[in-house]
Structure 1
Amino acid sequence: MTGDARIRPMRPDDVEACERISSTAFHQLDLRTYQRAWPDPQSRPPERRERWHARTHHLLATDPGGCWVAEADGEVVGFATSSVRELMWILASYAVRPQLQGRGLGRALLEAALHHGRGCLRGMLNASEDPQALRRYATSGFRLHPQMLLRGTVDRSLLPVVRHVREGTPGDRDLLDSLDRRTRGAAHGPDHEVLGRELRLLVTDRPAGSGYAYVDGSGAPVLLAATDRRAATALAWEGLAASDPDVPVEIGHVSAANDWAVDLATRARLEIWSRGFLALRRMKEPAPYLPHPTFL
């Protein structure tokens, strides 16, 4: 570790510096790993920075013991944010200033965040393609499951008629938490407050199958849980129906257990790419399920 660096709890006034580190570190990683067929990676735009701030302040409020920074010479140079939901530990975000990577700061931050999850039965995180981070997760007891990215524009003529999907309301919270427990083993609980402010909520609730999806402004489902693949597919199609036919949609974090999403991509003529990993400890791949980038 760097000479005078120390690991300490994150404070609210650290959030802006942590966002800058996250934006820089992940932009540089994207530049190293993006596919040539994709548009050039862009720095995080202002609206996404604001959402990052809001999510991190939320985690500081719910899980102060899971949020840590590395500080050197009075400056924040790295951070890790994590949460515990019921008996599951979740790594939300994690980065070190690029020029200081490889000096042990990342390992120390991850150990501090993992300590917050002591006693948890399960663990889950979304991992990038950074080899150092992947080794760190593997040596911490996580199994790495490759994920896919589904990308492309949606032809209006390919959209099926979807029935029994409605707009969600705060009154659906119990249903959502029940579906979370069934698919991933733990409810999102207080995270629904942030998700509901940022995203459109779709719900289907019938004896034949139920589920929910949080959908972003492009029409892509960014968090989805369902009892069966039919319900999951209906929710995803309903989200894609709101997409712009001239703007590519990206559905990320699709693990191999969620082949229903691959079938949907085939029908919608979306490209299928390999991107990132779902890292799991003492649990199987959730399905039908798409994890949120931050709250999983």
Structure 2
Amino acid sequence: MDSVQVRLMREADLPSAERASAVTFFESERSTRRVSDPEIEPRSADASQQWVDRMRFFLSIDPEGCWVAIDEVAGARRTVGFAIAQNRAGLWFLATYGVLPSHQGQGVGKRLLDAALAHAGGRPGIFSSSVHPGATRRYRAADFSLHPQMRMVGVVDRSTLPVIDGLREGRADDFAWMDQLDRDLRVAGHGPDHGYMLDTLRLVVCRDPARPGYVYLDDRGRASLLAASDPATARKLLWEALASSQGPTLVNCITAPNEWAIDVGLAARLDIGQEGYIAVRGMPVPAPYLASGHFL
């Protein structure tokens, strides 16, 4: 579209990019919702602010990976698409990407993804993908392997919770070994992302240096990112997350190499379903590992 400009994101673009993101993902989730799924709710004000804060962080760390599509018609300007990618040492990841439904199928998404992929500079890559057919065609054309992922939802049967020991609250002085574990599992460490997550999430770590692992928990006790050296440590960390959950919980980004997570969820009486893909290029699917949607 001649009226659409794809350019690097600026901080002033964040509010309009958030609105485009909220509309895009609401419509996508509503169109793919199964009858048995809960009703799709619009993004809350708190969640909108969290999105803006996270994207501002990415913009401050690696601005060359942050792109927007701006439509200018009759003097009016609005964000109609966005692609936020980041490089961390030898790894590229796509934190979020989307185009307003009104502008899909017109080449805007391809231009955004091409810009984000150019930023990779040949690095291996990873991201979490929806089932949108147009987007998945672009990912395959870019040589990404699409690995189906599952999610588990429900209220934990607390009678199933085992006694867990050997864990403690995480601290900033854990970041060095956490980054080494990240490198073992996903090519590169999270680097500055750990500092951001520690400020906004609860961190629990396994204190056994021979079997390290960590999990970040959100304000409802849900596992936001989990990494471990072995399945036994991963199971222990996920059980800690389920024990911390308040009301309905969610365990997502479960891939086939992470069957340990399925075993824990089923034992806790959660329901299992399928949800999109983990896309990887130039690297295996991380395990034992549960990716974060934004921080991968």
TM-score (norm 2): 0.97
* 1:92 partner SS: strand
User: 1:207, CA displacement in angstroms?
Assistant: 4.5
CA deviations 1:52-77 (Å, max 9, x no partner) are 11110011111111001111213221
Q: Of 121, 132, 135, which aligns to 1:133? A: 135
Name the structure 2 match of 1:123.
125
The unaligned stretches of length 5 or more in structure 2 are: none
Name the structure 1 match of 2:229.
227
Name the structure 2 match of 1:17.
16
The unaligned stretches of length 5 or more in structure 1 are: none
User: 1:158, CA displacement in angstroms?
Assistant: 0.8
* Alpha-carbon distance in 2 for matches of 1:226, 1:284: 16
Are residue 29 (structure 1) and residue 28 (structure 2) matched?
yes
User: Is 2:110–2:138's contact at 8 Å kept on the other side of the alignment?
Assistant: yes
Q: Of 143, 163, 183, which aligns to 2:185? A: 183
* 1:145 partner SS: strand
User: Is 1:233–1:261's contact at 8 Å kept on the other side of the alignment?
Assistant: yes
**Paired residues for 1:13-92 under 5 Å:** 13-73=12-72, 74-92=77-95
CA deviations 1:21-41 (Å, max 9, x no partner) are 111010001111122212101
Name the structure 2 match of 1:214.
216
Q: Aligned-residue CA RMSD in angstroms?
A: 1.0
Aligned residue identity for 1:216: D
Q: Of 195, 198, 216, which aligns to 2:197? A: 195
- Percent sequence identity is 42
Q: Of 174, 177, 194, which aligns to 2:176? A: 174
User: 1:208, CA displacement in angstroms?
Assistant: 4.5
User: Is 2:158–2:268's contact at 8 Å kept on the other side of the alignment?
Assistant: no
User: Is 1:220–1:236's contact at 8 Å kept on the other side of the alignment?
Assistant: no
Name the structure 2 match of 1:264.
264
User: 1:4, CA displacement in angstroms?
Assistant: 2.1
Are residue 94 (structure 1) and residue 110 (structure 2) matched?
no
* 1:240 partner SS: helix
CA deviations 1:10-31 (Å, max 9, x no partner) are 0000011111111101000111
User: Is 2:152–2:272's contact at 8 Å kept on the other side of the alignment?
Assistant: yes
* 1:110 partner SS: helix
TM-score (norm 1): 0.97
User: Is 1:5–1:71's contact at 8 Å kept on the other side of the alignment?
Assistant: yes
* Alpha-carbon distance in 1 for matches of 2:172, 2:210: 23
**Paired residues for 1:138-149 under 5 Å:** 138-149=140-151
User: 1:157, CA displacement in angstroms?
Assistant: 1.0
User: Is 1:151–1:271's contact at 8 Å kept on the other side of the alignment?
Assistant: yes
* Alpha-carbon distance in 2 for matches of 1:82, 1:197: 21
* Alpha-carbon distance in 2 for matches of 1:102, 1:156: 47
Aligned residue identity for 1:262: I
Count residues in correspondence: 292
Are residue 157 (structure 1) and residue 156 (structure 2) matched?
no
Aligned residue identity for 1:127: S
User: 1:284, CA displacement in angstroms?
Assistant: 0.8
The runs of at least 4 consecutive aligned structure 1 residues that moved more than 4 Å come to none
* Alpha-carbon distance in 1 for matches of 2:152, 2:91: 27
User: 1:96, CA displacement in angstroms?
Assistant: 1.0
CA deviations 1:91-127 (Å, max 9, x no partner) are 011111111111000000000111111131x100100
* Alpha-carbon distance in 2 for matches of 1:196, 1:221: 13
Are residue 239 (structure 1) and residue 238 (structure 2) matched?
no
User: 1:281, CA displacement in angstroms?
Assistant: 0.2
* Alpha-carbon distance in 2 for matches of 1:217, 1:172: 21
Aligned residue identity for 1:52: W
